[in-house]
Amino acid sequence: MTLRAIISTKLGAYGYFAIALAVAIALLFAWVFFKGGYLLTVLQLAMIYGVFCVGLNFFMGYTGQASFGQNAFAAIGGYGSAILTVQYGWEPILALVVSMAVAGVAAVVVGYPTLRLRGHYLAMATFALGLITYDVSVQWTDLTQGYMGYSGIPPLGIGPFTVEDDKLKLVCLAVILALGVWVSSRLRHSRFGRALRAISSTELGAAALGIRVSRYKLLAFIIAALYASAAGSLFAHTVGFISPEVFGLQMVVVTFTMLYVGGIGTVLGPAIGAVIASLLPEVVRSTGRFQDIAYAAVLILMLIFVPKGLSTLASIGRRRPIKAGAEG
């Protein structure tokens, strides 16, 4: 038996994928640390978008529902953090947690009536939610300072220890994202996660087995809102500045791209998608005035050749032996 064969029987395709992924992440972080500067910011934002997408994946991926308004909850997090720390001098961590709680309550208030709607109605309702939130953040200037937004938002920290250094910020954000992915993985592989995935496939089938469809949809919606709010707060504390544009329609488009590029409904896909879609513009920048075209071309190629997302590359090797076994 060759060494290769031994490794492959021990590891399987998932093992290879995990190693490749770990190496890729290590190289990426090493490169960004070495280069520093602007790339650090790009990767920081990728981590924050990652948190948002991992949450959105609960609702859109695992549960198979459409939401175009998740940016509303990111806005609650961002503005909650900004207002509580800048106006009232709260601890950033406390502001983040309280904002998440507010977003959770908002998700219940919005989700309870709308999740009874199906298909397009739900999508429309969430879309309206996103637009209304944007309008509120522009118009309600007493609270949000309108287009001006908030600046001077303090960085995260615990007591006297604050995360000011950009490299340290990145590490903290990466740890938070990893934690978010871990939670997602635990929940997916459980009774709860199976119920969500059953609903995504057929609500009739799920209900016939005693799954409370509306309740589980609402729970997934709340989880997505909590992640979104955390992402909004992290943005505020990392960049130090927010305005309505940060949480606008652009955010919906960007995060959808990330979800589909990485692999919607998978555990790692949202995080992988967030990193790839964030770095891609930097990579194609070298093509000068063709960068938009190059960006779009790469995305389209990915959707053609890896339609279920990059994270599904792991299972390509896995299917083969099963098929071969079934045939032989």
What is the pattern of x (binds other proteins, CB under 8 A) and - over residues 218-257?
-x---x----------------------------------
What is the pattern of x (binds other proteins, CB under 8 A) and - over residues 297-326?
-------------------------x---x
Q: Which residues of 82-92 are buried (b: 16+ CB within 10 A; e: fewer)?
A: bbbbbeeebbb
* 190 touches other proteins by CB under 8 A: yes
Residue numbers 120-179 binding other proteins by CB under 8 A: none
Contact region with other proteins (CB under 8 A), list: 98-106, 134-142, 183-191, 230-238? 183-191
* 183 touches other proteins by CB under 8 A: yes
* 3 touches other proteins by CB under 8 A: no
Do the beta carbons of residue 136 and residue 244 sit within 8 Å?
no
Q: Which is nearer to other proteins, 9 or 202 (CB)?
A: 202
d(CA 230, CA 54) in angstroms, rounded, equals: 11
* 265 touches other proteins by CB under 8 A: yes
* 186 touches other proteins by CB under 8 A: yes
Strand positions, DSSP E, the chain: 150-151, 157-158, 161-162, 241-242
Distances (CA, A) of 315 to 159, 258, 285, 326: 45, 20, 32, 17
Q: Which is nearer to other proteins, 198 or 236 (CB)?
A: 198
Distances (CA, A) of 256 to 62, 181, 209, 321: 15, 17, 31, 33
d(CA 29, CA 31) in angstroms, rounded, equals: 5
Contact region with other proteins (CB under 8 A), list: 134-142, 169-177, 206-214, 271-279? 206-214
